[in-house]
Amino acid sequence: MKSVIIGAGTYGEVYLAYLQEARVEIVGFLDDDPKLVGTNVRGVPVLGGVGLMKTIRQSHGVEAVYCPLGNNKLRVKFLENARALGFKTPNYIHPSVKIAPKVSIANEGVYILQGTELMPFVTLEKDVMISTGANIVHHSYLSQGTFVSNGVNLGANVHSEKFAYCGMGCTIMTGVHTLGEDCLIGAGAVVIRDVEPQAVMAGVPAKVIKYRHADNNL
């Protein structure tokens, strides 16, 4: 199935390597950076901007779109646009990921990299992105557009609301119930209480250092 990757930056390169290893046929990248359009990234052409999705099925026979962007809102926006145009948005789950019984994973836009473990009764909605070596403990629920970075430890019964971002190596302790919508947990932070929507948390134990704007794209 011919596919494209949205985003030709370093994360796009990483997912290109994984997807090619999985024998996915990647015909090109889509990226809105005019400096990249017309170039090749790791031997794969940057065909044009994201708007090219409207015609790329006819011009290149593309059937599927991958969008491994760390920007949660843009990732969800582009994947939803792709679905509205009739493209498939397949999952990519590295074969080393340990998925326990009774785990529920949506069939659209979920990306999980190597070394991650999912315990029983974990639920992942569509467009969730989990990097390497994360531990997602039982009965946790990750809403659409959640991002979990390298080495995150997410405790039991935690509900991450839409667009929540867990930075590298942070720990969400069991006893925390909610990571509010569009919150950001800083790298290495240890969260011991519920997090408000749009809150930016840092430190050990984590404290609010500021609030993001509801319309942010970061």
Determine how β-strand 92-93 pairs with β-strand 111-112. parallel
Q: Express each pLDDT in 97-122 by its tens digit.
A: 999 999 999 999 999 999 999 999 99
* pLDDT value of residue 218: 45
Residue 54, C-beta contacts closer than 8 angstroms, at least 6 positions apart: 85
pTM given for the model: 0.95
Q: Express each pLDDT in 11-20 by its tens digit.
A: 999 999 999 9
Q: Express each pLDDT in 149-164 by its tens digit.
A: 999 999 999 999 999 9
Domain ranges of the chain: 2-84, 92-206
217: pLDDT strictly greater than 90: no
Mean pLDDT of the 77-81 span:
98
CA–CA separation, 75 and 137 (whole Å): 25
CATH 3.40.190.10 fits 2-84, yes or no: no
* pLDDT value of residue 180: 97
Q: Express each pLDDT in 39-67 by its tens digit.
A: 999 999 999 999 999 999 999 999 999 99
- Structure tokens given for 47: 């065909």
**Sequence-ordered strand ranges (E) for 31-168:** 40-41, 44-48, 64-66, 92-93, 98-99, 104-105, 111-112, 117-118, 123-124, 129-130, 135-136, 141-142, 147-148, 153-154, 159-160, 165-166
53 secondary structure, DSSP code: G
CATH 2.160.10.10 fits 92-206, yes or no: yes
CA–CA separation, 123 and 99 (whole Å): 11
